[in-house]
Amino acid sequence: MRLPSPNTRPVAIWLFLVAAAILVMIALGGATRLTGSGLSIMEWAPLMGTLPPMTEAEWQRLFALYRQIPQYDLVNQGFGLEGFKRIFWLEWAHRLWGRTIGLMFLLPLIRFWWTGRVSRALRWRLALLFVLGGMQGAVGWFMVASGFLPDTTAVSPYRLVVHLGLALILYAAIVWTGLSQLPPSGVVGPVPRVFGALVRLGTTAVATTILAGGFVAGLHAGLAYNTFPLMEGALVPPGYANLHPFIRNMTENIAAVQFDHRLLATATLTIALAIVATGWGVPGLRRKVAAVGAIAGAQYGLGIWTLLAVVPIDLAVAHQVGAALLLTACLVLLHAIGRHP
């Protein structure tokens, strides 16, 4: 296997910084969704939207646009210009941070490309990641626009999950590429086959659980059934299969969506514990294995706390970031065993 040369370490550090910026973006995105701020800006202006309103007339124009959408009439009617400014600034910061990430990626990429720090194959992978980042902005607007439809006060859960899924792909690809630019950190002993299979399964389970959580967020399903482990006194909620055809329950039925997320989270925690049990004795991997187990346990507990507390913003944002951290720990472990089959 061809190992990265020492001069690729700055490339890895740059990519990890971009990944950290995406984590901040995930937190901001969660906050905008939970506060309803995401619909406060009615225009998609990739360049001109960088600057906030500078005059009272511009504030009034934007507020007039906002008063045209159902969210104002059904949720925020009468909260005035000052109330509008509060939700506007959060969404504006969210979009500005997205543009900042684009510059954080593009400018160092140009420099590393020009100075030959990245190989020819890596150049095109990084260029593709930059394009995917640009697409994420467009998909984000596609998601936001669904909240402007008649009788709608939030974005479409389906578009939310598409936006979330692309963010996961982008984040995972950047973390993985960064890891590939680092030399191996130490000698790793033989990796049991069952352990490797569990790590791959666990990584898949984490990603699937996150996407299922997107439907929980999109339907505001966390505001119902705020008990654990039972839902309305039963393990499986009575209304699990109310919709027809049955498949609609997976994405549109609050009871089913929340139950499925609970079930997937429990399965993920179980797999994480199995990863710890089968990989604890592998030399060179103990810290990475422990990280997966510890973060999985903390994330499961945080999810229960968030549910029982009826989804306060701070806990919900922390839960969203925790999911990304768990995915990161799984990717780090998966990358390490991939170098030592």
Distance of CA 20 to the CA centre of its chain: 12
In the DSSP assignment, the letter for residue 224 is: S
Note the pTM of the prediction, 2 decimals: 0.93
SS3 label, residue 253: coil
Spans of all domains in the chain: 1-183, 186-341
- What amino acid is encoded at 256 in this protein? A
Give me the pLDDT at residue 5, please.
54
Distance of CA 242 to the CA centre of its chain: 29
Residues of the chain with pLDDT under 50: 1-3, 6
Give me the pLDDT at residue 8, please.
85
- pLDDT cut 70: percent of the chain above it: 96
Give me the pLDDT at residue 229, please.
96
Give me the pLDDT at residue 77, please.
86
Distance CA 277, CA 281 (A): 8
| Token code pair at residue 309 | 């507390």
- What amino acid is encoded at 224 in this protein? A
Distance CA 213, CA 239 (A): 19
